[in-house]
């Protein structure tokens, strides 16, 4: 089966950089994804890492180390609107489809 662990909450100040870590255990690995959810709304896809290394999309970056079963989401130049829950997720099979298994989420609070 699959399981993911991430911190339950993180607090940071506006303009700062924050890193949200995710460790996973999977029977087969098909990539690590990150989603953002504001106040119980629709989760939105942020990034996906299939291979080791850093993927950058604007202020957000995501990193993966398959040998360590570890990844993180890096948010730079934090803004108040970044206050949200962030979920890491792994797919349970490859490109033939398969469900995403989500972590319990990290609630990020950005303070002025």
Partner 1 sequence: EAGVTQSPTHLIKTRGQQATLRCSPISGHTSVYWYQQALGLGLQFLLWYDEGEERNRGNFPPRFSGRQFPNYSSELNVNALELEDSALYLCASSLRTGPQGYTFGSGTRLTVV
Q: Is 53 in the site for partner 1 (CB under 8 A)?
A: no
Cα end-to-end span (Å), the chain: 41
Query: Is the CB of 13 or the CB of 50 nearer to partner 1?
Result: 50
| Contact with partner 1 (CB under 8 A) among 31, 60, 74, 83 | 31
Q: Is 95 in the site for partner 1 (CB under 8 A)?
A: yes
The Cα-based distances of 12 to 73, 83, 106, 111 in angstroms read: 14, 9, 13, 6
User: If binding means CB under 8 A, how many residues of this protein chain bind partner 1?
Assistant: 25
Could you tell me which residues are beta bridge partners of residue 11? 109
The whole-angstrom separation of Cα 74 and Cα 45 is 15
Q: Is 24 in the site for partner 1 (CB under 8 A)?
A: no
Which residue ranges make up the site for partner 1 (CB under 8 A)?
A: 30-31, 33, 35, 40-45, 48, 50, 87, 91, 95-105
């Amino acid at each position: 089966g699959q399981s993911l662990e991430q911190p339950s909450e993180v607090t940071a100040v506006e303009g700062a950089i924050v890193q949200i870590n995710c460790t996973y255990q999977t029977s087969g690995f098909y990539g690590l994804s990150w989603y953002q959810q504001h106040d119980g709304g629709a989760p939105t896809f942020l990034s996906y890492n299939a291979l080791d290394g850093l993927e950058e999309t604007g202020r957000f970056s995501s990193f993966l180390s398959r040998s360590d079963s570890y990844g993180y989401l890096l948010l730079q130049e934090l803004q108040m609107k970044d206050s949200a829950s962030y979920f890491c997720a792994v797919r349970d099979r490859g490109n033939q489809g398969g469900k995403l298994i989500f972590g319990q989420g990290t609630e990020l609070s950005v303070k002025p």
